[in-house]
Structure 1
Amino acid sequence: MYASLDQTGNQWRVTVTREFPQPRDRVWRALVEPEPLAVWFPAAIEGERAVGAKIRYVFPTGEAFGAEESAMLGEFLHFDPPALLEYTWAAENLRYVLEPNGTGGTVLTFCFTFDDVSTAARDATGWHVCLDILGEHLAGSLEDEPERKTALERQWRPVFAHYVERFGPDAAVQPPPSET
């Protein structure tokens, strides 16, 4: 259930696996369509859903994790419904692989690749909690922004503490967003 952290060359990768009872096409829609995406993902994704398409992330709070601008840019690298989705998140990379689980559900493997290990505990926590919220949304128990915010607040600190302990002090130099 918890993420792993691996290094490949000069980059780091957080990998999270989740199993959902919903079929791949339903999980896929939650990954790419604006309404379900708004429930669990930290930003709106503006732009065409296609390989090579430029995209823009617009944050509901008006700021991009402390950046002066309220949006970040990215690009779709893979868009193969309902099996593979990959795009850049500024200089980072997000990859989702969806596989059938054999019982009508879906196994989602999410990989987040980045350069700075000092953010690993914070980023692993963020994606871990977002994917938990995705599961709650798919199950029908989480439908809107206020519920999402409550779920984030409820889960953030214990999950962050786990990743600080698991990944070590070098991976926890950057504090959670609420402490910056």
Structure 2
Amino acid sequence: MSNLQVESLKTGGVIKFDMMDGSFINIDILECQLNSVLEFTWGKDRVRFEIHKEENGSLLLLKEYIHELTDHTPKDIAGWHICLDLFSAVLEGEEKEFSKDEWQQWFEIYKDKVIEVRG
């Protein structure tokens, strides 16, 4: 993704996230195991990608450990949803750009779900 710049791909390393408004956020890498695990901070939350070998391929697992449900939570979840779609496209040999319209559709769905969970 063009808005991510890996400064140091290792446990204790840093990823820079370009907010596309002239500002950057440093993301701390909490765990990095080559070809199997990448876990990093995401604000007060944590995000973890794991790759597991399967009989006929691999399984990509995404976990977000959410500290607190906020109004921003559905934005993040919609973003991860689109990222997973982009990963799938790459695996199918397609090149796809981040779609703000698709993101907006998923944001509305996840916003309603977060409201439902928060009560």
CA 1:137–1:165 in structure 2 vs 1: closer, same or farther (change >3 Å)? same
Say whether 1:92 aligns with 2:45.
yes
Say whether 1:109 aligns with 2:70.
no
CA 1:167–1:134 in structure 2 vs 1: closer, same or farther (change >3 Å)? same
Paired amino acid for 2:30: L
Q: CA–CA distance in 1 between the matches of 2:4 and 2:11?
A: 18
Deviations 1:76-129 (A, max 9, x none): 21111211111123433110011123112x211111223341222221111111
Q: Select the structure that is richer in helix.
A: 1
Whether the 8 Å CA contact 2:47–2:65 is kept in 1: the answer is: yes
TM norm structure 2: 0.79
Paired amino acid for 2:114: F
How many residues matched? 117
Deviations 1:24-79 (A, max 9, x none): xxxxxxxxxxxxx43xxxx32231111122x142416234xxxxxx1111222111
Whether the 8 Å CA contact 2:17–2:27 is kept in 1: the answer is: no
State the partner residue of 1:76: 29
RMSD of the alignment, in Å? 2.3
Say whether 1:132 aligns with 2:85.
yes
CA 1:103–1:170 in structure 2 vs 1: closer, same or farther (change >3 Å)? closer
State the partner residue of 1:57: 16
Q: Using the aligned pairs only, state the percent identity.
A: 19
Whether the 8 Å CA contact 2:10–2:29 is kept in 1: the answer is: yes
Structure 1 segments, 4+ long, off by >6 Å, are none
Runs of 5+ consecutive residues of structure 2 not aligned to the other structure: none
Q: CA–CA distance in 1 between the matches of 2:101 and 2:91?
A: 19
